[in-house]
Structure 1
Amino acid sequence: MLENGKVLLEKLIVTCNGKSNPIRGFSIEELKTATNNYAQKNIISIGGGYTLFRGFLQNRQVSIMKFRVRGPSKHCLWLNNVVFTSQMRHKNILKLIGCCLETQLPILVFEDVKYRTSPFFEPLLLRHRIKIAMEIANAVTYLHIGFSRPIVFRDINSSHILFDEDYVPKLFNFSLSEFIPEGETHVRGIVVGTSAHLAPEYLYTGDFNEKCDVYNFGVLLLELLTGKRLHDILAHFEFCSVHSVKDRLQEYIDNNRFNEIANCKFAGDGLCHGNEQHLQAFLELAFTCLSDSEEDRPNMIDVAKQLRQMHQSS
């Protein structure tokens, strides 16, 4: 606890500027009891280096994040999640309640969530998908402009979005997130993530900025548009790249065949005129975000505005 507390305090002092939320402390035994000793039936999500459990702690439902990565990167995962989420005040970012520092890798306690990415891959109405996209765009915009220095999430994808019982989306897992250093325009480091989801300039240079988050978000829009994961979209069209898939999706929209690829509900037997307009706008926005050149991509605040307009008109 002393070692972990020292590391956490030093990082908070450097980055939080006195504006962090209160962080409660929990014991090992409290969290074991809350999760029935981390029973498999209580698993919500498993990701790179962590498992998220459902628990019942002090008369409330919670989500408990337990890390399993060791070695040089062990501090990065839990520290980033505490340091960044302790500063967040946004309804679409999973709220940190506290942590346990008594274990070698601290265990984090978050607000309750019910579902892992399920609305992405269920046959929801198009307007519900637009709403999810809008709310996550609002959360990413908040990271980019809501602090003295921009925060880049660096790993926007459907597996890092959870939903509460009202299907409100929550962005979580800040393991790879970073502040852009003062006086700099990029974060520099080792390239991490799934190559098909990453901006081309990041793959070539290792430099990551807000426009790289926008590219990640474009992939997220494609997944929301179709209700399929990116690799399933590409597999459907065979030998298709992220960019050439645009023309193929356009053909399906133009020929009123979008139901054949999209796991999405529409009014009536096919696309009505309003749905077709929204699909077209959604597709265009996704591929603008996926532009090869970062200068051709919009800022996240513009992406959020466009999605808000789509949501209001739907």
Structure 2
Amino acid sequence: MGWLRKKKKKPTESEIVAIERGAKLLEDLIECCDGKSNPIKFFSADEIINATDSFSVYSNHMSGLDGYGFHGTEWYSGKNENHPKILVKKYRLNGKENMICRDIAVSSMVSGHKNFMKLVGCCLQSENLVIVYDDVKKHNKLDISKETWKRRMKIAEDIATAFAYLHTAFPRPFVYRTLALSNILLDEDGAAKLIDFKYCISIPQGETFVKVDIVAGTTFIN
């Protein structure tokens, strides 16, 4: 009797996409921090669906946090068996996986600092890439018009502290490049958190600059 060979299961399209995205994420982690990032949990698409009640627009959608423009995002509250409160950022547009993988990689590095969101994990299987943050201390988008001058100074100090951390805490300094009010969240204690690192670049050790292909800059808002 001849040997029976078990056929290997052909990976699904979503699995192939997840593998390609995972390879890019690993490349960014190696470049940014020699692969020594904080632990990242990889959620399945089903886990994200369950956590957000199928991205419910009625009970889970956080419309006040949504981002618009070329790299639009939708935000959802959620929970699972290990995390009673999570904040899920879903990128609406495809085709920019490389930038979003950079967002995940840098987020994992700064996750332990008080002026950055605490990263829980990400989902690489979904059609639209998803990033998951801890939301035990509820977060809201900054509305600077509602803040007193004293509070504005505290927020500016928090963000300056975040920049100093990016510039000095790692072997390769990081340049943020896209400061805007939409990229600052406030937790329920009033602490400012910097988010969105897709345009963040690292400067190689011993160098003072790095060439980039995509122009990005600071957005000033009165």
Give the match for residue 146 of structure 1: 169
- Which residue in 1 is equivalent to 2:19? 2
So what's the TM-score if we normalise by structure 1?
A: 0.57
- Contact in 2 for aligned 1:45/1:53 (Cα 8 Å): no
- The aligned counterpart of 2:86 is 62
Is the Cα contact below 8 Å between 1:4 and 1:106 reproduced in 2? no
Residue 21 in structure 1 maps to residue 38 in structure 2: yes
Give the secondary-structure state (helix, strand or coil) at the position aligned to 1:102. coil
Q: Which has the higher contact order (CA 8 A, sep 6+)?
A: 2
2:150 matches 1:134:
no
Task: Give distance in 2, aligned partners of 1:125 and 1:109.
Answer: 31
Superposed displacement of residue 159, structure 1: 0.7
CA-atom RMSD in angstroms: 2.0
Alignment CA distance shift 1:68-1:187 (3 Å): farther
**Partners of 1:78 and 1:106 within 8 A in 2:** yes
Q: Which runs of 5+ in 2 are unaligned?
A: 1-17
What's the secondary structure of 1:2's corresponding residue? helix
1:5–1:191 Cα change, 3 Å: closer
Matched length: 194
Structure 1 unaligned blocks of 5 or more: 198-218, 220-228, 231-314
What code does the residue aligned with 1:36 have? D
Instruction: Describe the superposition over 1:160-190 as per-residue Cα deviations: whole angstroms up to 9, x where unpaired.
Output: 0011121211100001101013343223233
Residue of structure 2 equivalent to 1:121: 145
- Tell me, what secondary structure is at the counterpart of 2:67? strand
% identical aligned pairs: 37
1:185 is aligned to 208
Distance 2:38 2:167 in 1: 19
Shift of 1:143: 0.5
Write the distance in 1 (CA, Å) between the matches of 2:206 and 2:134.
35
How far is the alpha carbon of 1:83 from its aligned partner? Answer: 1.0
- The structure with the largest helix share of the pair is 1
Deviation >4 Å, runs of 4+: none
Assess if the C-alpha contact under 8 Å between 2:75 and 2:87 holds in 1.
yes
The residue identity in structure 2 corresponding to 1:53 is Y
Alpha-carbon shift at residue 156 of structure 1 (Å): 1.0
Cα distance in 1, alignment partners of residues 206 and 115 from structure 2:
29
The residue identity in structure 2 corresponding to 1:84 is: V
Residue of structure 1 aligned with 2:130, choices 104, 107, 123: 107
Aligned twin of 2:107? 85
Asked whether the equivalents of residues 78 and 105 of structure 1 are also in contact (C-alpha less than 8 Å), the reply is: no
SS in 2 for 1:20: coil
Find the aligned partners of 2:116 and 2:139 in 1 and give their Cα distance.
14
Amino acid at match of 1:128: R
Residue aligning to 1:31: 48
Matched, 1:46 2:37: no
> Does the 8 A contact of 2:100 with 2:198 survive in 1?
yes
TM-score by length of 2: 0.79
Please tell me whether the aligned partners of residues 28 and 103 of structure 1 are also in contact (alpha carbons under 8 angstroms): yes
Query: Greater Rg, structure 1 or structure 2?
Result: 1
Pairwise CA distance, 1:2: 2.1
Q: Deviations over 1:72-105 (max 9, x none)?
A: xx12232111111111131001121111121244
Q: What per-residue deviation string (whole Å, max 9, x for no partner) do you get for residues 247-275 of structure 1?
A: xxxxxxxxxxxxxxxxxxxxxxxxxxxxx
